[in-house]
Amino acid sequence: MHLSDPDTKIYVAGHRGMVGGAIWAHLQAAGYTNLVGRPSGELDLRDPHATRAFFEAERPDAVVLAAAQVGGILANDRYPADFIGNNLAIEQSVIQAAHDTGVDRLVFLGSTCIYPKHAPQPMPEDSLLTGPLEPTNQWYAVAKIAGHKLCEAFHRQHGDDMVTLMPTNLYGPGDDFDLETSHVLPALLRKAHEAKGAAPEGGDAPVTLWGSGTPKREFLYVDDLADAVRFVLETPEEELRDAAPDGMLNVGVGEDLSINDLMALIQDVVGHDGPVEHDRSKPDGTPRKLVDTSRMEALGWEADTSLREGIEKTYDWYRAHEDEFVASSVE
């Protein structure tokens, strides 16, 4: 199956989040007119009975499973049961309901944190389950591995057209800027912005990085992921399986940089001239995370948003919504 009709009914699970919202907007812009979504307040995807009833009523042709509980190192450490339990429940409910109601194609959004801590760089899809995970996000990683394996199992046993995209570290408009739960890029963007002019003498206050700042990361602008989802939905199954027999496709940009270099770029975009300090009592996490994007490139897709351009767009969005984050942090 692949999409060819703008009237194809597509259910975007998690359409109110950063990722799901970007996918929804991108599909609309591409001409798809029959999109379906439900906010979590109306449909709890952890509930298999409610999820099955929704699928029975709506009968989507395709599903994009972008709903998940996400967060950075601190959130994973504080809420391990939530990260593994809620994500497993969402995956089981949605994937089972998609199978039971005959969905033509399901695209599951995984994460590159599923790969071993010391996977070869760049990380190929077949490095999955070849070594221990990074302990700081193992709960989320285990849930995402299970989600992919569930898709793989339904394909192997029943022939269901289910594929998994593994995006690298995502960022963009709509990101989580709460310093308790956010990932590294939005956290540093907010810290640099709030440090401007915050020193006692009126200059820029210092910004503190966790760990040494030497780990290297790859960052993908969320609109590029949305384009990759559309591309995969529109690609015939036989072409996808030729490139990815296991149904796994990494989505990245093909280059990385150290957290220290990321901080320098953010400082340049934000206009922060203060010092950068390091809290070495905090963990570094995986030393490097760069994905092998050769499968998606063979299919004909590449990301096209530079890191500077993406950060500039994200910073513009943050400034437009800054009052919301300031208000939530003092409640």
**Is the residue at 254 inside a domain?**
yes
Is 33 domain-assigned? yes
Could you tell me how far CA 131 lies from the centroid of its own chain?
Answer: 22
CATH number at 306 reads: 3.40.50.720
Asked if the structure places residue 112 within a domain, the reply is yes
Residue 61: band (very low, low, confident or very high) from pLDDT cuts 50, 70, 90: very high
Give the distance between the most distant pair of CA atoms in the chain.
67
Whole-number average pLDDT of the chain: 94
pLDDT tens string 187-203: 999 999 999 999 988 89
- Which of 214, 220, 225, 328 minimizes the C-alpha distance to 260? 214
Instruction: Read off the pLDDT band of 327 (50, 70, 90).
Output: low
Rounded Cα distance between 151 and 87, Å, is 14
Tell me if 140 is assigned to some domain. yes
pLDDT, one tens digit per residue, over 241-287 is 999 999 999 999 999 999 999 999 999 999 999 999 999 998 887 78
Residue-level pLDDT at 202? 87
Task: Tell me the mean pLDDT in the region 296-308.
Answer: 98
Active site residue 79: no
């439900």: which residue's tokens?
Answer: 38
> Distance between CA 60 and CA 66 in Å, rounded?
15
3-state secondary structure the chain: CCCCCCCCCEEEECCCCHHHHHHHHHHHHCCCCCEECCCCCCCCCCCHHHHHHHHHHHCCCEEEECCCCCCCHHHHHHCHHHHHHHHHHHHHHHHHHHHHCCCCEEEEECCHHHCCCCCCCCECHHHCCCCCCCHHHHHHHHHHHHHHHHHHHHHHHHCCCEEEEEECEEECCCCCCCCCCCCHHHHHHHHHHHHCCCCCCCCCCCEEEECCCCCEECEEEHHHHHHHHHHHHCCCHHHHHHHCCCCEEEECCCCCEEHHHHHHHHHHHHCCCCCEEEECCCCCCCCEECECCHHHHHHCCCCCCCHHHHHHHHHHHHHHCHHHHHHHHHC
Interval 89-97 mean pLDDT = 98
pLDDT at 331: 44
- Establish if 209 belongs to a structural domain: yes
Range of the domain at 204: 10-330
Query: Residue 148 has what pLDDT?
Result: 98
- What does the pLDDT read at residue 1? 55
Residue 329 has pLDDT above 70, yes or no: no
pLDDT for the residue numbered 330 = 42
What pLDDT shows up at residue 328?
Answer: 53
**Per-residue model confidence as pLDDT tens digits over 11-47:** 999 999 999 999 999 999 999 999 999 999 999 999 9
**Number of separate domains in the chain:** 1
**pLDDT tens figures, 124-175:** 999 999 999 989 889 999 999 999 999 999 999 999 999 999 999 999 999 9
* Predicted pLDDT of residue 75: 79
Instruction: Considering only residues 212 and 2, tell me which one the structure prediction assigns the higher pLDDT.
Output: 212
Exactly one of 32, 115, 140, 315 is catalytic; name it: 140
Residue 5 lies in a domain: no
Residue 68, in any domain of the structure: yes
Please indicate, yes or no, if residue 96 is contained in any of the structural domains: yes
Q: Could you tell me the pTM of the whole model?
A: 0.93
Mean pLDDT, to the nearest integer, of 85-109? 98
